[in-house]
Structure 1
Amino acid sequence: MQKSGSSSSLGPGGLDLTQAFFKPILNTAPPSPTKRHTKISVIGVGNVGMAIAQTILTQDLADELALVDAKPDKLRGEMLDLQHAAAFLPRTKILASVDYSVTVGSDLCIVTAGARQIPGESRLNLLQRNVALFSNIIPPLAKYSPDCILLIVSNPVDVLTYVAWKLSGFPSNRVIGSGTNLDSSRFRFLIADHLDVNAQDVQAYIIGEHGDSSVALWSSISVGGVSVLSFLEKQQIACEKETLDKIHKAVVESAYEVINLKGYTSWAIGYSVASLARTLLRDQRKIHPVSVLAKGFYGIEDGDVFLSLPAQLGRGGVVGVTNVHLNEEETQRLQHSAHTLFELQSQLGL
């Protein structure tokens, strides 16, 4: 299912239209070997996968985009729908196939495929079904693109990032989960809305599990470079813990609210993942709260557990983890989050 234009490039009498349309320049030098060709593959063309794909296209992040899914008709339909927008988009070659060979030579592989929870199904059973699914996805990606960065978006993202790391055999710096990057964006929005400022001027992180045990780093929030909690203390303004907990609860519940209202989340995660792709592929060295191998950071010693920490990202993947100051309560909550995830993944037998 490669990129389709007209059904044939041949004109009358078998004349190739490309040759007829352009007069070639003879004795030209080959293309410069220094020119970079960027390829991104998206595995899973559901609502999340397609929101990511279209955001990548509109933001001109790839020269080539490959889509993979188990449903051939849905896959071809999505590919054609994107291709038909070619006149309105930066030039990107779009490929699609049920065969993972279409991903060969990818710089970044984004995995959104995942099993949906059946009503009444336990979290562990859902996770085990997703592990079985990942065992058919990750090895072929690693085979066809051995130097790529794996970016896991499927939920539960932290444990599945660990699973992807184990199945790929990649170094941990090249296996990343989307983690709390979106949670932190929601957090910044709610704080900005509360203070009536631009969210881009708010520095704030949610770390830990992408889920109920996530940790809001209130001690490190700043607006325009001013520490919020320190400012409130100096102004002798009481900031009730109840208000802070209410904002954090709204962050945790916001995804559920969107799902209840429209059935799924898509646009925000599309922008979130595209921002990660830009930082990684353009070596921007920006700091994002993403799921990384956390052992040895902030007193986390619970085995090889992945959870979100503020990490500097670049062309090689995770460059380092930011040494953000955590107060005692935040440290304890983060370690508890790590322990919760470790207990869950230890039941998988990987």
Structure 2
Amino acid sequence: MARTIGVIGIGHVGVTTSFNIVTKGLADTLVIIDNKPGWAEAERLDLADSLGGLSTYTEIVANDYSRLRDADVVIFSGGDISVIQNGDRNSEIKSTKAAIDDAAPQLAASGFHGVLIDISNPCDVAVTYWQQQLNLNRNQIIGTGTALDTYRMRRAVAAAMHVNVADVRGFNLGEHGESQFTAWSTVRVNNDPITDLPDFNMKDLNEAARLGGWQIFSAKHYTNFGIATIACEMAGAVMSDAHRIFPCSSYDDDYGVSIGHPTMIGRGGVISHPAMRLTSDEVQKYAHSATTIKENLAKLQALG
């Protein structure tokens, strides 16, 4: 069966994700959808121009929801990042809700039954809202969550400790927003607990990890490469049934909301949630983050 990925919302992130899918040969068919007149077709042609230089081939389809019926994965990146105020991702609640309300009925009508990966912000709120809009198992609807925050933490730690980023392990958890936090009890550098290292400065590293995205956003007014890479990694994990763990946004039964925490991903979406062995302080931060997400979800639902 042909491998099919859909990308809904072809802005900076959506098109970067689409380019990665094509150049990495992740799909046999890529369906790109955008409601701006002529936009998806223009990007389809631009992406098609790259095919002559690649060792793989991808059929690229524009604005055809019916082709998503048998898609393995749909990546949703709709919304309007330009409405963000003071670095608050929750400024996008109204525009993201409108984008989901537009896409959800069309996606449902297509007969889509694969895995939905949300990129749009506020990510955890959007994932929970998607779970309410589609007649799919919650395990089939996930978001990139704190995977990007984790990447930024690893980058900051690697730079501070003068090691390769591949040798830094651990998780950022909670909301993909201001209440996210680094679970330092999970972080290892060259397999040593970071808290045991003599040059570990929690305050400085917390700030470096938290502000990494805003340094980019303040200059570019969007971020795209890191998040697109994560979306493609998650999509690949679904399509290959990789049983790979991501700190992504998925439903937490204990808190009744989707939130960034370690999640094993495979063909059907969520396979399991590895146990989190957090400190009491980290548990409190996680609970606070869940409460923040619930409060912002209530704001979205109040929009009617």
For the superposition of Structure 1 and Structure 2, which TM-score range results when normalised by the shorter chain? over 0.9
Cα–Cα, structure 1 residues 129 and 48, in superposed 2: closer, same or farther, change >3 Å? closer
Partner residue, 1:21: none
Instruction: Answer yes or no: is 1:255 the counterpart of 2:220.
Output: no
Compute the displacement of 1:105 (Å).
1.8
Tell me: CA distance 1:120–1:64, structure 2 relative to 1, closer, same or farther (3 Å).
Answer: closer
1:195 to 161, 164, 167: 161
What is aligned with 1:342?
294
Question: Secondary structure at 2:38's aligned position in 1?
Answer: helix
Task: Report the 3-state secondary structure (helix = DSSP H, G, I; strand = E; otherwise coil) of the residue aligned with 2:62.
Answer: strand
Counterpart position of 1:160: 126
Contact 1:186–1:251, Cα closer than 8 Å, also in 2: yes
1:197-230 per-residue CA deviation (whole Å, 9 max, x = no partner) reads 111111111010001100211011112322222x
Question: How large is the RMSD of aligned CA atoms in angstroms?
Answer: 2.0
Displacement of 1:194 after TM fit? 1.2
Q: Normalising to structure 1: TM-score of the pair?
A: 0.81
Q: Is the 8 A contact 2:248 2:259 kept in 1?
A: yes
Deviation at 1:336, TM superposition (A): 0.5
Q: Does the 8 Å CA contact 2:216/2:223 hold for their aligned counterparts?
A: yes
Distance 1:68 1:322, change over 3 A: same
Residue 219 of structure 1, aligned match among 168, 180, 185: 185
The alignment status of 1:74 with 2:39, answered yes or no, reads yes
**Structure 2 residue matching 1:212: 3-state secondary structure:** coil
2:185 aligns to what SS in structure 1? helix
Looking at structure 2, the residues matched to 139 and 204 of structure 1 have their Cα atoms a distance apart, in angstroms, of 38
| Structure with greater strand percent | 2
TM-superposed CA distance for 1:120, in Å, is 6.3
Residues 173 and 180 of structure 2 are in contact (CA less than 8 Å); yes or no, is this contact kept in structure 1? yes
Which digits, 9 at most, give the CA deviation of each residue in 1:77-102, with x for residues without a partner? 111011011112211100102x4224
Choose between structure 1 and 2 for higher RCO, CA contacts under 8 A separated by at least 6 residues. Answer: 2
Which moves more between the two structures, 177-186 or 132-141? 132-141
Aligned length: 300
Partner of 1:106: 71
2:10 counterpart residue number: 45
Q: CA deviation at 1:125?
A: 7.0
Aligned partner letter, 2:242? Q
Q: Which residue of 2 aligns with 1:33?
A: none
Distance 1:244 1:290 in 2: 23
Q: Aligned AA for 1:42?
A: V
CA contact (8 A) 2:152 2:213 kept: no
TM alignment of 1:102-181, pairs within 5 A: 102-116=67-81, 118=83, 126-181=92-147
Tell me how far 1:165 sits from its aligned partner. 0.7
Q: Where do 5+ consecutive residues of structure 1 fail to align? A: 1-35
Extract unaligned runs of 5+ from structure 2: none
The answer to whether residue 21 in structure 2 is matched with residue 63 in structure 1 is no
